[in-house]
Amino acid sequence: MGYPITKTDAEWRAVLERKGAEPGAFDVTRKASTERPYTGKLEAQWDEGSYECMCCGNPLFDADTKFDAGCGWPSFSLARPGAVHEITDTSHGMRRTETVCAECGAHLGHVFNDGPSPSGLRYCMNSASLDFNPSE
């Protein structure tokens, strides 16, 4: 699938370095790795604001949709409309729904059907794939 924003691996590495991304952000966002639970800087972030794609700045989630799922990764009950694409992921012998940024294709995490009402969804995101933009 093509995305509106495309760059080479070297260009993505440079973008992430300029933004001061977490170690491993390139592997998470461009190679679909997963960070260890409870290690990401945004897992315990509860300020007002929004969460954007670390690679391209696409607004993904509002802070008021974040909840503590107890899983060790930032979790949200609702993505912004059109912000993410969902892809069937059959890696590691499982069948899951991967979420990627709709603008640049960065791997964000997975979405599960065990979240709170009213959506019933849990967008389980890698902290390294997100950038936090506080409300002013």
What are the residue ranges spanned by the domains of the chain?
A: 9-134
Given the residues 53, 55, 104, 124, the one annotated as active site = 124
8-38 burial code (b ≥16 CB/10 A, e <16): eeeebeebbeeeebbebbbebbbebebbeee
Longest dimension (CA), the chain: 44
Instruction: Give the pTM.
Output: 0.94
Q: What is the CATH number of domain 9-134?
A: 2.170.150.20
At 136 the pLDDT is 65
Question: Is 124 among the catalytic positions?
Answer: yes
Rg (CA), the chain: 14
**CA–CA separation, 79 vs 58, rounded Å?**
12
CA torsion 4→28→10→51, rounded to 10°? 50
Instruction: Render each residue's pLDDT in the chain as its tens digit; 136 residues.
Output: 689 999 999 999 999 999 999 989 999 999 999 999 999 999 999 999 999 999 999 999 999 999 999 999 999 999 999 999 999 888 878 888 999 999 999 999 999 999 999 999 999 999 999 999 998 6
